[in-house]
Chain A
Amino acid sequence: MVECLTNKKVLTKGNYAIANAAVIAGCQCYFGYPITPQSEIGEFMSGKMQELKRGYVSAESELAAINMTIGAVSTGVKAMTSSSSCAVALMQEGLSYATTDELPVVLVSVMRGGPGLGNIYPSQGDYFQATKGGGNGDYKLIVLAPSTVQECVDLTYKAFYLAQKYRNPTVLLADGLLGQMMEPVEFYDYPYPEIDNSGWALTGAKGRDGRIIRSYGPLADDRCVFLEKLYEKYRKIEENETEWEEINTGDADIILTSFGSTSRNVKTAMKISREKGIKAGFFRPVTLYPFPNKRLKELSKTVKKIVTVEVNMGQMVNDVKLAVNGACPVELIHKGVGAPPSAKEIVKKVEELI
Chain B
Amino acid sequence: MATQVFKLPESLKGDVKYSFCPGCDHGVAVRLIAEVLDELGIRENTILAASIGCSVTIYDYINVDSLEAPHGRAMAEATGIKRARPDKIVFTYQGDGDFASIGLAESMHAALRGENLTAICINNTTYGMTGGQLGPTTLLGQVTTTSPTGRNVDYYGYPIKIAEHIALCDGTAFSARVSLDTVANIKKAKQAIKKAFEVQIHGLGLGFVEILSTCPTNWKMSPDKAHERVRNEMMPVFKPGIYKDKTN
Contact = CB atoms under 8 A, between A and B. Distances in A.
Interface of A: 28-29, 31, 55-57, 59-61, 63-65, 67-75, 77, 79, 93-94, 97, 101, 202-207, 209-216
Given A69-B80, A210-B48, A213-B68, 5 more contacts: A68-B80, A71-B80, A71-B82, A71-B83, A75-B47
A202 B66 contact: yes
Interface residues of B, number: 37
Contacts of B56: 216
Contacts of A69: 80
Interface stretch (B24-32, B70-78, B174-182, B229-237): B70-78
Contact of A202 (B43, B44, B65, B76): B65
B73 A64 contact: yes
A321 B3 CA distance: 76
Given A55-B83, A212-B66, A67 B73 contact: yes
Interface in B134-159: none
A197 to B, nearest CB: 12
Contacts of B84: 28-29, 55, 71-73, 75, 77, 79
Given A67-B73, A216-B68, A205 B80 contact: no
A211 B60 CA distance: 10
Contacts of A213: 66-68
Contacts of B70: 67, 93-94, 97
A94 B73 contact: yes
A207 B77 contact: no
Contact of A31 (B49, B80, B89): B80
Nearest to B44: A206
B105 interface: yes
B106 interface: yes
Nearest to B80: A71
Contact of A204 (B46, B69, B80, B109): B46
Contacts, number: 138
A205 B42 CA distance: 10
Nearest to A56: B83
Contacts of B36: none
Interface of B: 13, 43-50, 56, 59, 62-70, 73, 76-85, 88-89, 105-106, 109, 113
Contacts of B106: 60, 63-64, 67
Contacts of A202: 47, 65-67, 81
16 contacts: A29-B84, A59-B76, A59-B109, A60-B109, A63-B106, A68-B76, A68-B79, A68-B80, A71-B69, A71-B81, A74-B80, A202-B81, A205-B44, A205-B65, A210-B59, A215-B68
Closest 9 CB pairs between A and B? A71-B80, A55-B83, A71-B77, A68-B80, A67-B76, A214-B68, A72-B84, A72-B80, A202-B65
B49 A71 contact: yes
Nearest to A78: B84
Contacts of B48: 210
B79 A204 contact: no
A71 to B, nearest CB: 2
A205 B64 contact: yes
Given A57-B113, A207-B44, A216-B56, A72 B67 contact: no
Contact of B85 (A57, A75, A210): A75
Contacts of A209: 13, 63
Given A60-B105, A67-B77, A93-B70, A29 B45 contact: no
Nearest to A100: B68
A212 B77 contact: no
Given A204-B65, A210-B59, A216-B68, A63 B80 contact: no
Contacts of A64: 73, 76, 79, 105-106, 109
Nearest to A64: B76
Given A79-B80, A203-B65, A212 B59 contact: yes
